[in-house]
Structure 1
């Protein structure tokens, strides 16, 4: 199925297949927990366990503090957890998208099946788990800090660049994975390196001034920092940094879709 690459077509292709997309996302989520005794409860229990461990280790044992974080037990853990949620969404989606086409060769042979939906379904699955993690974060913030800042209401706005950037990378890597079978291994290593290149375990302010521009150029760093500002610190994001992150995300979104739509005609020949 060949898809034209106009901006209108990107969204119309997704909206036109929204029912199929919902079915695929639901299938992906349920498949992950198939056979588990607690089923979907694990989507809440897993981030809850992570937050509990971070709070105990960093808040009670090490008593680590983050300069920008508000005072209180578990403040560092919440700051760390917020950054991990944002980054893990990106990492999980792009790693799974790299093999999403080659693991579904039957869909490639169906002429009328919209292949561009497969990476988006992985995105939807990632959003489900990300939403569950943010819910646990907010509950933890109420318990540990006894408040949730009003700025948290704007979380969907700062997540938009992260979602668009991840979608573009998912399309690009899904297509690349068909032709380069080593891509999943390279992407796995790259996301691990990117984890340490993104200020998740450390504040950007701890870097020497001569290196900070590298952080500001990293679109993931912007999303991680903005999530922390809204959810934990009660601050509004820097408008210039947010706009830069959004522009990079939009460009990546469309370029990823264009690359996927241009190459998908050759998928059947390779598979």
Structure 2
């Protein structure tokens, strides 16, 4: 089933009755989203952003009063669309990605570990970005392709400044700024075969460190980065788990840690590309 997303008029978020059957919680403990059952529909409450009613192939989004247009577009692109797509049988992960001459690199890990900044640094080095927050995958003839998403990145002001990128000046509610694709920040216009999934560490390393991961810990990582609409729909959960398992068995996983220092980013990018070239036998 392909869902149609409709944007309705803004309205206030009122208190909801009952208990949610699922929640998205940030590493800091904040509630990002709650999921409720309402008769024949599922209501997704994105705190202070929007309520979404999902039923019969239609997702109606009611923005909260005063929500910024940029925030709404980001919510739809980076949360709602991949959530509905996964429910329909597609495969989307939370993370960023770039295209190198040796294949696409996907960056996954917990929030605020620098996934988008690393993808932007790769793009600044000539490896176009494919995604800044949602990795959309498509399997063709046994190969996983990373599909390009929006030609924009949302970066914190200090990251954009250190990378020499100009923001559009608008500040989102999470204090990120929009940076549009350009000659300085090239965007991949077409899909690229996925070469590896890089799992970002906390930044404790004193130099870039690469450690291959077995499929099982790799699977555990992407399971935590997947989008699931209904955790109580067992048939869909089994199907989704099967797609994730196939991915974990087919694509190499590498744990990557490096100092979170802007000055070392060119070294990290060079090491990434060298590592993938070596894996590809180039």
TM over 0.5: no
TM-score interval, smaller chain = under 0.3
- Would you tell me which structure has more strand in proportion to its own residues? 2
What is the TM-score when the length of structure 1 is the normalising length? Answer: 0.27
- Would you tell me which structure has more helix in proportion to its own residues? 1
Higher relative contact order (CA closer than 8 Å, sequence separation 6+): 1
